[in-house]
Amino acid sequence: MKIDINNMTMETARDGLRAGDFTSVELTQAYLTDLPEKNAEMNAYLEIFDDAIEQAKIADQMIASGDATDLTGIPMAIKDNILIKDRKASAASKILSNYVATYDSTVGAKLREAGAVIIGRTNMDEFAMGSSTENSAFGRTMNPIDTQRVPGGSSGGSAAAVAMHGAVYALGSDTGGSIRQPASFCGLVGLYPTYGAVSRYGLMAMSSSLDQIGPFTKTVADAEIVHDAIAGYDPMDATSVPEKTRNENELKQIEPKKIGVPRAIINHPGVLDSVRADFENSLKKLADLGYEIIDIELPSYEMALPTYYIIMPAEASSNLSRYDGTRFGVRQPGKDLLETYMKSRGDGFGAEVRRRIMLGTYVLSAGYYDAYYNKATSVRALIADEFKKAFEIVDAIATPTTPTGAWKAGEMSDPIAMYAADLFTVPANLAGIPAISIPSGADNNNMPLGLHLMASYWDEKTLFHIGKQFQGNK
């Protein structure tokens, strides 16, 4: 049977493997055949692992012995900040360019146990800081739809890997939109799960109260399959939520009916007209599917971005203090320990990472802590409260995923203009609620746009339910 990787989904791959239409070795080979050429053009993968076929053989044995899971034998890609034992993990940074993981992340272990075929590790903005995957120490990633343009970020390599048909699905991490925004830019589905749903153990921490791991897929149904496989309580992550609490908080399983639209933020001047027009089309489609579309107020939505740019750098500056050239990573020797720290970190980190460490140090420093960090945590609580009240009225909230489509590489040099790419996605991270981006249409440059749906805590099911209907494959 000819394997059509351009139309391959988790569902078709799984069903084909189970029916014996093809083996995992054949499927993996189909992906690997022209992968080096594709990757030379896109720079989606930092490394294509040389043991993918060996992994596929193990998966084929699992399938033959009836031990297959939904992930078994399916080729996938993983972001370069998620650890897999004995493999390199660099977070696309010079300072970790020689780092080999000494243990498995919980997600990595789950993939291994499930028989996933990990093809390689994907490019990203250094330490997940950026919205374009131009901040990588190992060169930018192209958008497979238009190679002049960026794939979004920070998980741009994972997005490009799936969009160029170089993996059936991929994992990324999302701190302020780093899965949903590149998914939108590359015409894919991307999920940010409820905070605490997926273990962060073995994910290089950027902003610990915001980071979550989630999937890039071609369909909403696939996103659900991957999420269900990687979610779960993990005692190794102190912020992982026990199953009991999840079940208690999971909302009554009624069919979602009402979708709220925070009109004020959609009229923000930074949002392109073509994005607004596409969003209105999406709302019409949802209304045609029988959903009631209701205008809602989220008065502090616009304050989410400046709040985020206090909390995130504050946490990042603490988290990244571990990279100092002492125990692992690259050391630049100095005359004493202090100079070794200064040189290793100064040389090892790129400009955006240094900028955020400095900003975080500033907002946490004596005299500014109350005005910035403490104030930001209060505003964050207000934003979460506004969501809570909104979800008493509606089952989901819809916005565009991004204010613009993918821009041309090199075009965005002002850091604040770049930060605005996360306008719609950041609030979900601050509140810790699940959100999904689903392909919806295109902008004036014919680049993909996404519909962004948010739901209440532990209510991913609502996102999947609406999303599957929106994609027309109920």
Q: Which residues are known catalytic residues?
A: 79, 154, 178
CA distance 155 to 128: 7
Give the residue, chosen from 6, 102, 247, 267, that forms a contact with another protein under the rule CB under 8 A.
Answer: 102
Classify each residue of 105-143 as buried b or exposed e, where b means 16 or more C-beta atoms within 10 Å of its C-beta: bbbbbbbeebbbbbbbbbbbbbbbbbbbbbbbbbebbbb
287 binding another protein? (CB under 8 A): no
Q: Are 129 and 159 in contact (CB under 8 A)?
A: no
| Cβ partners under 8 Å of residue 413, min gap 6 | none
The piece of 143-151, 248-256, 261-269, 329-337 that touches another protein (CB under 8 A) is 329-337
With CB under 8 A as the contact rule, the residue among 130, 153, 196, 434 that binds another protein is 196
Q: Which residues between 257 and 286 bind another protein (CB under 8 A)?
A: none
E-assigned strand segments in 332-413? 396-400
Between residue 10 and residue 39, which ones bind another protein under the rule CB under 8 A? none
Residues in region 334-363 near another protein by CB under 8 A: 334-343, 345-347, 349, 351, 354-355, 357-359, 361-363
Contact between 243 and another protein by CB under 8 A: the answer reads: no
Considering only 48, 241, 447, 451, the residue that binds another protein (CB under 8 A) is 241
Closer by beta carbon to another protein, 74 or else 95: 95
What's the min distance (Å) between Cβ of 65 and another protein?
31
Range 390-429, binding another protein (CB under 8 A) = 414-416, 419
- Is the CB of 328 or the CB of 468 nearer to another protein? 328
Of 165, 217, 183, residue with least CA distance to 38: 165
Q: For another protein, give the closer residue by CB, 185 or 349.
A: 349
| Distance, CA of 124 to CA of 203 (rounded, Å) | 14
Q: β-pairing, 169-174 with 212-217? A: antiparallel
Among 29, 281, 377, 445, binds another protein (CB under 8 A): 377
Closest CB 266 distance from another protein, rounded Å: 20
C-alpha 370/C-alpha 387 separation (Å) is 25
Q: Which is nearer to another protein, 22 or 309 (CB)?
A: 309
**Which of 127, 309, 424, 464 is close enough to bind another protein by CB under 8 A?**
309
**Residue with tokens 């160029």, as numbered in its chain:** 164
Q: Which of 22, 99, 138, 291 binds another protein (CB under 8 A)?
A: 99
Binding of another protein by 249 (CB under 8 A): no
Distances from the Cα of 190 to the Cα of 21, 106, 334, angstroms: 28, 20, 44
What is the C-alpha separation between 332 and 341, in angstroms, rounded? 8
| Number of chain residues interacting with another protein (CB under 8 A) | 72
Residue 307 touches another protein, criterion: CB under 8 A: yes
Least distance (Å) between residue 194 CB and another protein: 10
State the Cα–Cα distance between residues 412 and 427, nearest whole angstrom: 23
